[in-house]
Structure 1
Amino acid sequence: MSVTLSPPPLSTSLYLHAHFSHSLPPMSILRRLNLNRSLNLRNNRRRHFATVSAAVQQDTTVWSQASISEVEPAAESLFNVTVDLSDAPDLAVSHIRAGQYIQLRVPDVSKPSFLAIASPPKLASSRGVFEFLVKSIAGSTAEILCGLKKGEVVELSQVMGNGFDINQIDPPEKYPTVLIFATGSGISPIRSLIETGFSTSKRSDVRLYYGARNLQRMAYQDRFKDWESSGVKVVPVLSQPNDSWTGESGYVQAAFARAKQINNPLATGAVLCGQKQMAEEVTSILVGDGVSSNKILKNF
């Protein structure tokens, strides 16, 4: 049995023709497809190059092994960590300015911690060690670091950052007033700065406003006497003191705002490290009082 195929009814032919007449012509479709394909290829290349670039950038970090010399409590939730650099002498001598920092990795944890170097550069060159003030935060690399024992191995990156550029507030005769502000573990690079020395004996007014929740959380209290002897007036500020506290209370920026005592803003420099809000508010106060913004030093 044979079947004869008849052409579609006229109405159907008119419908099909009308349908395509409202669509893009076939060549336009091809052009759009080619354009989309080209854009996709271009985007894929960009993603590939970005991935490769990120990998290359990540791989440029040079890690040096070093062993733990000591871990001891510095205050509540804070620990003094000393790392022996005997096997990394080049790393020791690369610390040249207070305020510089490194990345530190602990065994079996890929994510490093960024740590400011608390010891002055001279300690690295003379004793071959870095000292850090580390805040132990639950679940962090820092918590694991604070639990390590003497002799355990960690990895350190190169020394990073420009540190505090004290040249901006030299000579001391021109900038006799230097105001220093720190909160919490932000005192770490400030210790390095004070113990490195920046001609404090030649300046008439050097003050450190150091904030913590209470005395139990304030590190380096055993160093305050030496800092004072070097020419730095230490002003502890407690945000939650007990009833026996007679010193400054509240936040660092509020304590400073109450005191002020800036005789000549153009002869004043400042150094800041710690909580972001503190740094922003202190900067605003200083600039508002006429201190030049490029004389306000930070290590980041």
Structure 2
Amino acid sequence: MSALSSSVQAVTALWNRMPFVGRVASQLTVVNIFDCATRLAAQAFLSAIPVLFVIGAFAPQAVRDQLVESLRTVMGLGGATLDQVQGVLTADSGNVKDASGAVGVLVTLASATACSRALQRVCERSWHMRSAGLKVVMWRWVAWLVVLLVALIAQGALHDAFGAGALLGIPVSLVASVMLWWWTQHLLLGGRVRWLPLLPGALITGIAVVALTWGSRLYVPRTLERSVDQFGPLGAVFTLLSWLIVFFACITVGIALGYVVAHEQPFDRWLRTSAATGRTDPADDADLAEESAQRP
């Protein structure tokens, strides 16, 4: 019994000496990393196929070719999976336009904004804020989706530094990724947090996303090949969905940790976090977490 008591005291003492670790653990618990990542991955996966049809129907051939190259670069897609994507993007655009129409495009866009809404909830939960009104954020869902699609299409060129080579492509991709996730947080939080306190989250997220995409070029092709051989098309679905979960876990963790870092000494003084954020009272954090968990 005394040994157990001593162990508990030792763990407590160690925890007290590392308050940053405790704050990180508390933040990740409140944000609920795996739930958010899984929800974002599911929304992105369900939106991807209709969006590909719309791009295949209405985008110029050069844009479609660039998207194929970006998917090959970012996720390491190849073989039968990439052929299927190319088949969707190179289908007879006239027939697809007739089948889609303006109503179909609007429905696709509305359904795709579900991913924007889920990411907005991640940002609000990470920064301990209540949900913004629809008038404040509705247009931001569409704006984020459009910019994300542009960024995805440009990934192939970014990874090659626009023809300068893969070595230069790493810093170019890193800068672009940090800028994207910096802007994303500011946009989806409705401008309620100023730019500087959002920088740590943008840096963490940008570095994690670039590291994942470069690593995926080695991991994903082999995993896809094994999955397709064993389970057929369902194997590809499982692999791609798993990759999306890891991808959005990186984003969720990055945004959540950015909040903690922005409130740590001396970063809070450098970033002027206290004066630049509309942080709620800590006593409200449990209510905010419960409110976030109850949202669909």
TM-score range for the pair, normalised by the shorter chain length: under 0.3
Higher relative contact order (CA 8 A, sep 6+): 2
Which structure: greater helix fraction? 2
Please report the TM-score for the alignment, with normalisation by the length of structure 1.
0.25
Larger Rg: 1
Which structure: greater strand fraction? 1
Please report the TM-score for the alignment, with normalisation by the length of structure 2.
0.25
